[in-house]
Amino acid sequence: MSGHCDGGLRSNIEPNCLEKREIMKKTLNKMAILLLLGGVVFTAQATTPEEDRAAFVKHYKFRFPDVPMEEYPNGAYAIDKIGRENWEAIEEFPPYEPFIDEGQEMWDTSFANGKTYKDCFSDGPGVASQYPRWDKKQGMVITMALAINQCREANGEKALKYKKGPIVPLLAYMAFESRGQVTNVVIPEDDPRAMEAYEKGKKFYFTRRGQLNFSCATCHVQNTGLKVRTEVLSPSLGHTTHWPVYRSKWGTAGTLHRRFTGCNRNIRAKPMKAQGEQYRNLEYFLTYLSNGLELNGPGARK
């Protein structure tokens, strides 16, 4: 009977063969759906950090073919000619310089117990390229700001606030001493929690939130180079290289997490806690994207 199931007009085929064909058709349909779903899942979840970074590089190279990669640490000024002229004029007398001096003084001043920051950061102040990093022992992403406060608390000092204030000069000095180093975020393979933190940061980046229903990617991937009021939207490559930043809008210098907070508020989403898990993971993901780009902090922005 099975010999009659391989062709011919539908009317000439035996009923059993029709059943078999129906079963085969259903099976193929199911396989197609599974393959399709598999493809979506692969696109959405199974990309490696290096594939993510390559996709961002490809995207910006396509959008801004004349902008060399080494320009991206300059943020929007890599793609905004008029803004760049103003920025270069500001950089002649950098508004962040007093913060660097103040930070150096803080670095050199002993804690009440006689120890200094040098006792925590044995490689000296120029260590920005070592952050953010995965700390296996603590099971979390450690940023430079968090490391500063962990150092202070270990030496009996009060933790500093994370968005503005005294932590900024210290970060500015450490960033200045790190200039010329290259972003080099490592996601260790021996601890799956590190990849989980990276993925959480990525998820945060692509999640739409707030009354405006924007994700980070809406502004900094989809609409990079376009304007929101008078501001040119910057690319995400290079977003993390130049912190802390003296922002004319703030009238002072502030931290990356202060900027995260501002971004979230702009889209009318309630911000997360500065140096909380969500923003640290976001920093981990975002900084990984800038791997290979030079550190040029502290910076000045509008």
Binding site for other proteins (CB under 8 A): 43-45, 47, 51, 54-56, 58-59, 199, 202-203, 206-211, 213, 217, 221-222, 265, 268-270, 272, 278
- The nearest distance, CB 105 to other proteins, in angstroms, is 37
Task: Compute the residue count for the chain.
Answer: 302
Tell which residue, 258, 254, 262, 261, has the closest CA to residue 297: 254
Place of tokens 């008029």: 82
Choose between 23 and 55: whose C-beta lies nearer to other proteins: 55
Residue 302: C-alpha distances to residues 87, 179, 215, 227, 280 (Å): 8, 21, 22, 14, 24
Write out the catalytic residue numbers.
Answer: 263
Degrees (nearest 5) of the Cα angle 284, 285, 291?
A: 90
> What gap in Å lies between CA 7 and CA 298, rounded to an integer?
74
In angstroms, how far is CA 88 from the centroid of its own chain?
Answer: 26
> What would the DSSP string read from start to end of 111-126?
PTTS--GGGT-TT-S-
Choose between 4 and 273: whose C-beta lies nearer to other proteins: 273
- For the record, the structure tokens of 164 come out as 């503005």
- The nearest distance, CB 55 to other proteins, in angstroms, is 5
Place of tokens 């003296």: 246
Q: Which residues contact 195 (CB under 8 A, 6 or more apart)?
A: 49, 187, 189
- The nearest distance, CB 96 to other proteins, in angstroms, is 29
Helices (H), 125-230: 144-154, 167-177, 192-206, 216-217
Degrees (nearest 5) of the Cα angle 100, 246, 161?
A: 75
- The nearest distance, CB 256 to other proteins, in angstroms, is 19
**Contact status, residue 256 vs residue 207, Cβ threshold 8 Å:** no
The dihedral built from the CA positions of residue 116, 121, 127 and 130, taken in this order, carries a sign that is negative
Choose between 90 and 267: whose C-beta lies nearer to other proteins: 267
- For the record, the structure tokens of 196 come out as 């989980």
Choose between 22 and 50: whose C-beta lies nearer to other proteins: 50
Choose between 30 and 265: whose C-beta lies nearer to other proteins: 265
Choose between 62 and 93: whose C-beta lies nearer to other proteins: 62
Q: Which residues contact 147 (CB under 8 A, 6 or more apart)?
A: 120, 121, 131
**Contact status, residue 230 vs residue 76, Cβ threshold 8 Å:** no
